[in-house]
Amino acid sequence: MLEVKNVTVSFGGLIAVKDMTMNVKKGIIHSLIGPNGAGKTTLFNVITRVIQPVKGSVSYEENSLMDLRPEQIIYKGISRTFQNLQLFSGMNVYDNILSGYIHNYDKNIFYLFSKNRSHFESEARERILEISELLQIKNRLSSYPASLSYGILKRVEIARAIVSNPKLLLFDEPAAGLNHNETSEIRDIMRLLKNQGKTILLVEHDMNLVMKISDRITVMSFGEKIAEGTPEEVGNNEEVIKVYLGESENA
């Protein structure tokens, strides 16, 4: 479904990602893990078109993504969340989620001003209610981000990412900063989305979550892929164990 081929990224003299190849298959949860500085976020940013690689390509359902700008990937059915929440502080939860929905239409801005506008609004409202019910934030729709806990804000961000009904979801550290219960909630949400047929690429540090939820895991270290397989295969891989033990000894 998503194909990353021989991607290399350098920042000045530093090679952050080196000749990375990975394929994400349809309908699964695929995690990308590795110690700090391994190159995960850089690769994620190549996939989401924020960073241009010096070499290599990314394609989705056999169409190249290389000519797209970050805000255009949604038109291909791909959506993302951010490591540091990027919600609009001046908008309530409803409007924040709506900002993800509008993307479905802004290819044709005249639509918003046409007589179909009321149809758009009722369709959007229905979808936002459906999504907020699913994510249990229906009673927060009129709240502003500043009044909400971090765990709820993460769910609002997921709501905004899925309101446009994308097929591929890219989650950048969704559990970062969450407590145990909030992390379990995020895990349940990801399972729910997978059961609805979504494909998820997850960058995450919480190993417990990754091991429990992933169908497949790719491990990076110093910009390169060092292992790939099921959670069990990766968990038993000697090089992976060495890299993670090294990290905890250095911590």
Take residue 4 and report the two structure tokens written for it. 């990353």
Residue 33 and residue 207 in contact, taking contact as beta carbons nearer than 8 Å = yes
42 binds ligand ATP (CB under 6 A): yes
Q: Which of 4, 29, 39, 131 binds ligand ATP (CB under 6 A)?
A: 39
Please pick, from the candidates 7, 22, 29, 38, the single residue that binds ligand ATP as defined by CB under 6 A: 38
Half-sphere exposure of 203 (CA within 13 A, CB side): 23
Per-residue tokens: 239: 């090089």
36 touches ligand ATP by CB under 6 A: yes
Of 34 and 56, nearer to ligand ATP (C-beta) is 34
Q: How far apart are CA 100 and CA 102, in angstroms?
A: 6
Q: How far is the CB of 154 from ligand ATP (least distance, A)?
A: 17
Query: Which CB sits closer to ligand ATP, 95 or 224?
Result: 224
Q: Does 53 participate in binding ligand ATP (rule CB under 6 A)? A: no
If one asks whether residue 227 binds ligand ATP (CB under 6 A), the answer comes out as: no
Residue choice 1, 29, 34, 137 for contact with ligand ATP (CB under 6 A): 34
What is residue 16's three-state secondary structure? strand
Tokens 């690689």 correspond to what residue? 53
Residues between 4 and 33 that touch ligand ATP (CB under 6 A): 11, 14, 16
- For 110, counting Cβ atoms within 10 Å of its Cβ (0-12 exposed, 13-18 middle, 19+ buried), the class is exposed
Q: Nearer Cβ to ligand ATP, position 50 or 192?
A: 50
Q: Edge-to-edge strand order for the sheet containing 63-64? A: 14-24, 2-11, 55-60, 63-64
In terms of CB distance, is 104 or 218 closer to ligand ATP?
Answer: 218
248 binds ligand ATP (CB under 6 A): no
Q: Tell me if 220 sits within 8 A of 38, measured CB to CB.
A: yes
Q: How far apart are CA 128 and CA 164, in angstroms?
A: 10
Does 174 participate in binding ligand ATP (rule CB under 6 A)? no
Residues at the interface with ligand ATP (CB under 6 A): 11, 14, 16, 34, 36-42
